[in-house]
Amino acid sequence: MLDEVTNTSKLFDQARERLSLAAEYLTIDPDVLQKLRYPKETLSVCLLVRMDDGSRRSFKAFRCRYDDTRGPTKGGIRYHPAVNIDEVMTLAFLMTFKCAVANLPYGGAKGGISVDANQLSRSELERLSRAYVKAFAHFIGPERDIPAPDMYTNSMVMGWMADEYSAMVGQPSPAVITGKPLELGGSLGREDATGRGGYLALRHLESDLHLVPEKSRVILQGFGNVAYHCARLLHGDGYKIVGVSDSRGAIYDPDGMDPIAIMEHKRSVGTVSGAPTNGTCKEMDNSELLEQDCDVLIPAALEGAITNQNAHKIVAKIIVELANGPVAPEADEILDKKGIIVIPDILANCGGVTVSYFEWVQNKAGFYWDLEEIHRRLESIIVPETRHVWSIKTEKQVDMRTAAYILALDRISSAIAAHGTKDYFAS
């Protein structure tokens, strides 16, 4: 239903194809698809930063606000050498639908800097982060566009950015950025929010998916903060963690492992390799781990981990996408034919943006909730929206990804139509 566009990236075209598929199940006014065809605004700048040796170095930086029909835009800022405008635009598109799936009063945005943050000193990292805010100060704002952490950014980086923005506007503005340190207006519950959201979605669907925790084996590809907290919560409920990986390798043990012990080992030596397990541990590479025997596979690393090259080798019954876009579009059809249920990223990992929303609300109110309240409120959003997506899947006989896009598109469409469409003005 969306026109072909020749000047956009393959990644963005793939995202639009998923939108087109969802639109086939709804009566959508053409005005809606026209509005969602391109981002509302995208900005690309060059940041010139003074390095520790006295030289100056330029960095490409981007920010995209895709759609703000349902509220101010929201999305992370990532620091990575491969960051480019196409990736940022696609991720902003996905954030638009993720916020709509969670029924948050936000549109979607994304930002990034093309940089290897590991090659910068701490002082250089701070100067770069503050330079980003100076360049995009007119683009962001507590009522306009609210950034958050993403790949290779953290709470301290967000604290620097919030401080720089506050200095520029002449008053404290903690609500301009989420994911800040607690001492600077951050929210409790932010650290495990994304992993906890995926955990809540999976636990809610246990009976539908015929899962019994004590008999279910879980593999997590990637073992950073998000995967660790999801593994910790699942393990505490009786699930057996049989495999984990990081960028340097993977371990698999059918007898299971304790994710807390694995994380302690990783923090000590820098990798999961060699970590203690319950039986005979096999070491392998990341791609090989995806193909091992398990009931639940949780890709929590980078995009495109599962493609048409390896999808037919996946033996898991359920995939929970804690990473953004870990299953390539061409792999979806293969997995669906195999009967593998995929809990899509725009549902499975929306816990992070939900608690970011809580932080924004608390900043604006000047009143902060305790951890128990954060967890209660997160569950009150994740559980009913997961059920909503599952109900659409069942009713329309579609996969869960399409069901999630149908739910999100319906909400966005209603908001756009509330401003008036062609039919309204023509009549």
Supply the pTM of this predicted model.
0.93
* Domains 40-177 and 193-348 agree in fold: yes
- Domain ranges for the chain: 40-177, 193-348
For residue 245, what are the β-bridge partners?
A: 250
- Evaluate whether 89 touches 39 at the Cβ level (below 8 Å): yes
Number of Cβ atoms within 10 Å of the Cβ of 292:
20
pLDDT tens per residue across span 32-87: 888 998 999 999 999 999 999 999 999 999 999 999 999 999 999 999 999 999 99
pLDDT of residue 26: 92
364 is catalytic: no
CA dist list (Å): 346 to 8, 154, 172, 252, 274: 22, 21, 32, 28, 34
CA dist 320 and 219 (Å) reads: 10
Q: Is the pLDDT of residue 2 over 70?
A: no
Residue predicted with more confidence, 424 or 58: 58
Residue found by looking up tokens 């929306």 in the block: 350
Tell me the one-letter amino acid at 102. Answer: A
CA dist 299 and 317 (Å) reads: 14
Confidence of residue 31 (pLDDT cuts 50, 70, 90): confident
Q: Is the pLDDT of residue 3 over 80?
A: no
pLDDT of residue 343: 98
Q: Where are the beta strands (DSSP E) in 150-276?
A: 217-221, 240-246, 249-257
- Evaluate whether 262 touches 223 at the Cβ level (below 8 Å): yes
The two tokens of residue 147 are 């950034």
Q: Which residues, at least 6 apart from 171, have a Cβ–Cβ distance to it below 8 Å?
A: none
pLDDT tens per residue across span 202-244: 999 999 999 999 999 999 999 999 999 999 999 999 999 999 9
Q: Is the pLDDT of residue 5 over 50?
A: no
The hierarchical CATH code for the domain 193-348 is 3.40.50.720
CA dist 277 and 180 (Å) reads: 35
Q: Would you call 57 exposed, middle or buried from its count of C-beta atoms within 10 A (0-12, 13-18, 19+)?
A: middle
CA dist 224 and 195 (Å) reads: 10
Phi/psi at 46 (nearest 5 deg)?
Answer: -115, 125
Instruction: Please pick, among 110, 180, 240, 393, the residue that the annotation labels catalytic.
Output: 110
CA dist 378 and 159 (Å) reads: 24
CA dist 395 and 220 (Å) reads: 30
Architecture of domain 40-177: 3-Layer(aba) Sandwich (3.40)
Q: Is the pLDDT of residue 166 over 90?
A: yes
Q: Is the pLDDT of residue 6 over 50?
A: no
